[in-house]
Amino acid sequence: MRRIGVLMAFAENDEVWQAYLAAFRQRLQDLGWTVGRNLRIDYRFAGENTERIRIGAGELVALAPDVVFVSTNPAVSALMQATRTIPIVFTYVSDSVGSGFVASLARPAGNITGFHNFEPAISGKWLEVLKQIAPGVRRAAVVHVPDIAANVALLHAVEAASTSLGMTVTSAGVRAAADIEPALTAFARVPNGGLIIAPSPLTTTRRELIIASASRLRLPAIYPFRFFSKSGGLVSYGIDHMEQVREAASYVDRILRGANPGELPVQLPTRYELVINLKTAKALGLTIPPSLLGRVDEIIH
């Protein structure tokens, strides 16, 4: 019997993450690991609360699992504080080198490896897509968590890309759900604004609030994952997260069979999906340009 710890900085009752973990377990089963037969999995769901993330990391490490599967930068940071020896496989992480998680992508060198969702440069693409789908947008607010180093790197990359697109960029830092609506309302007081939503436990867990606020304030917004568009967000550009979790399960399998995580390279995304919610576009009075329609992976009606 082998033991896996799972630390999720998301809500336990969120159907997106339940499907995500079901895909993780199914891939492990395909590789010969069946829960109850030769595998035990212990879960901790912490939402966006940093203290619960820290507590969950400590509880899992105390169980001495063979490997921990974790999502998001804050959760990896918490696990790093709790152990430097138990192997860790991550997903939903950006800028792992800049965040101090690994020495390099090719040779992580420690007890941590995994799969990136984005590099900071992708945020320039988000700004470009936002401008294409909503040409009237002249100002973009980056909704991010200032305490997450990778979010700050994304903000700086948007600022760097804004000049060539004739845009101005505003920092919309939020640290709790109560910060979201006031920040968006304040930004919307000046016309011709749009939003870029950076990936974080907070923005992902509170996506319904963000999407509803953007709709009420008539702010075109681009999101980092498909499930935002499924929930009513205007447009998303990001990884296929179900494909990535299956790949992460393969890394967990290799570690259970003796592989050293420090020798398993951190994997970058190989493909991004562009998803547009046509109903939301119509509600905002936007017409999708043919140049964007020709590149779209999915249209939600």
Q: Which residue has the tokens 């998303």?
A: 236
How far is residue 88's CA from residue 118's CA, in Å, rounded to a whole number?
Answer: 19
Q: Are residues 279 and 164 in the same domain?
A: yes
**What DSSP assignment string belongs to 43-82?**
EEE-TT-HHHHHHHHHHHHHT--SEEEEESHHHHHHHHHH
Q: What is the pLDDT of residue 120?
A: 83
Q: Which residues pair with 3 in a beta bridge?
A: 40
The verdict on residue 26 lying in a domain is yes
Q: Which domain holds residue 95?
A: 2-117+240-263
The verdict on residue 141 lying in a domain is yes
Mean pLDDT (10-residue bins), the chain, 301 residues: 96 93 98 98 95 97 98 96 97 92 96 92 93 96 95 94 94 96 97 96 95 98 96 96 95 98 95 95 96 92 90
Q: Are residues 27 and 102 in the same domain?
A: yes
Q: Are residues 108 and 139 in the same domain?
A: no
Q: Are residues 64 and 165 in the same domain?
A: no
Phi first, then psi: give them for residue 143, nearest 5 degrees: -85, 110
The structural domain count of the chain equals 2
The verdict on residue 219 lying in a domain is yes
Helix, strand, coil proportions of the chain in percent (round to 5)? 45, 20, 35
Is the torsion defined by CA of 284, 288, 289, 295 positive or negative?
Answer: positive
CATH for 131: 3.40.50.2300
Q: Are residues 221 and 178 in the same domain?
A: yes
Nearby residues of 39 by Cβ (< 8 Å), 6 or more positions away: 1, 2, 3, 4, 28, 33
Q: Are residues 103 and 153 in the same domain?
A: no
Q: Are residues 58 and 134 in the same domain?
A: no
CA-nearest of 129, 190, 192 to 158 is: 129
Q: Are residues 149 and 290 in the same domain?
A: yes
Q: Over the stretch 43-89, which tens digit does the pLDDT of each residue have?
A: 999 999 999 999 999 999 999 999 999 999 999 999 999 999 999 99
The verdict on residue 268 lying in a domain is no
Q: Are residues 131 and 248 in the same domain?
A: no
Q: Are residues 88 and 231 in the same domain?
A: no
How far is residue 227's CA from residue 231's CA, in Å, rounded to a whole number?
Answer: 6
Q: Are residues 249 and 222 in the same domain?
A: no
The verdict on residue 32 lying in a domain is yes
